[in-house]
Amino acid sequence: MNHDTYSDIYVREILNGVKTIAMVGASPVNVRPSYFAFKYLAERGYDMIPINPGQVGRSLAGKPFVASLRDIDRLIDMVDIFRNSDAAAAVVDDALALNPLPKVIWMQLGVRNDAAAAKAEAAGIKVVMNRCPKIEYGRLSSEISWMGVNSRTLSAKRAPIPTGSFQRMSLNRASISGGSTGAADRAAQDKPK
């Protein structure tokens, strides 16, 4: 499939369909993007597992680090890769050795490995590359709009309210495409890798 753009339906289905997310390359340092994304997703009810061989014995937001995908004792729905594009290949190989296979392999903003993605897709796994699940959740729920960010969605429907807390918006919000960001998308593609 085309990995330059993803439809909102595709991304929303993924974020709605997964429960357990293993984040490879999660950092315990509270100013790193992986820490931000891990904590945000954990707060939204995902069962988050931090993977980082250098951090075993420590924990992130109360979740103990494990060394690799092979060391996880429960079913994983999604593998979120916070490593560079080259290193993503080996992580995908590890994910393909899992039984049962994960449903989704997600590579973070700036991470793209088309060969590894093709391998995963051949095994029936859905792939997202060069996106952040925190930003996508914030965008599709419209939480990110509170920061003045163009969510690229429009909606004339009242969104459901998540229970139990406030300043939260639901991922299950009816929306259609909104204002596009073509110049930013082109700049990202032209950026020297």
Partner 1 sequence: MTDRQPGFSTLAIHAGAQPDPTTGARATPIYQTTSFVFNDADHAASLFGLQAFGNIYTRIGNPTNAVLEERVAALEGGTAALAVASGHAAQVVALQMLLKPGDEFIAARKLYGGSINQFSHAFKSFGWNVVWADTDDIASFERAVTPHTKAIFIESIANPGGTVTDIEAIAAVARKAGVPLIVDNTLASPYLIRPIDHGADIVLHSLTKFLGGHGNSIGGIIVDAGTFDWSKDGKYPILSEPRPEYHGIRLQETFGNFAFAIACRVLALRDLGPALSPFNAFMILTGIETLPLRMQKHCDNAKAIAEWLAVHPAVAAVNYAGLAGDKYNNLARKYCPKGAGAVFTISLKGGYDAGVKLVSKLQLFSHLANVGDTRSLVIHPASTTHSQLDDAQKTKSGAGPDVVRLSIGIEDKEDLIADLEQALA
Could you list the residues that contact partner 1 (CB under 8 A)?
7-9, 30-31, 33, 35-36, 39-40, 43, 109-110, 132, 135, 138, 142-152, 154-161, 165-167, 169, 173, 176-184, 186-188, 191
Beta bridge partners of 23: 50, 80
Sequence letter at residue 184: A
**Shortest reach from residue 28's CB to partner 1, in Å:** 14
How far is Cα 30 from Cα 46, in angstroms, rounded to an integer? 19
How far is Cα 131 from Cα 82, in angstroms, rounded to an integer? 11
116: Cβ–Cβ under 8 A, 6 or more apart, which residues? Answer: 88, 89, 91, 92, 93
Q: 122 or 147, CB closer to partner 1?
A: 147
Q: What is the DSSP letter of 160?
A: P
**Shortest reach from residue 52's CB to partner 1, in Å:** 18
Q: 99 or 165, CB closer to partner 1?
A: 165
Q: 93 in helix, strand or coil?
A: helix
H/E/C letters for each residue in 31-86? CCHHHHHHHHHHHCCCEEEEECHHHECEEECCEECECCHHHCCCCCCEEEECCCCC
**Shortest reach from residue 73's CB to partner 1, in Å:** 27
Q: 93 or 185, CB closer to partner 1?
A: 185
**Shortest reach from residue 56's CB to partner 1, in Å:** 24
**Shortest reach from residue 81's CB to partner 1, in Å:** 16
Alpha-carbon radius of gyration of the chain:
17
Q: 124 or 164, CB closer to partner 1?
A: 164
**Shortest reach from residue 141's CB to partner 1, in Å:** 9
Q: 90 or 184, CB closer to partner 1?
A: 184
Q: 89 or 109, CB closer to partner 1?
A: 109
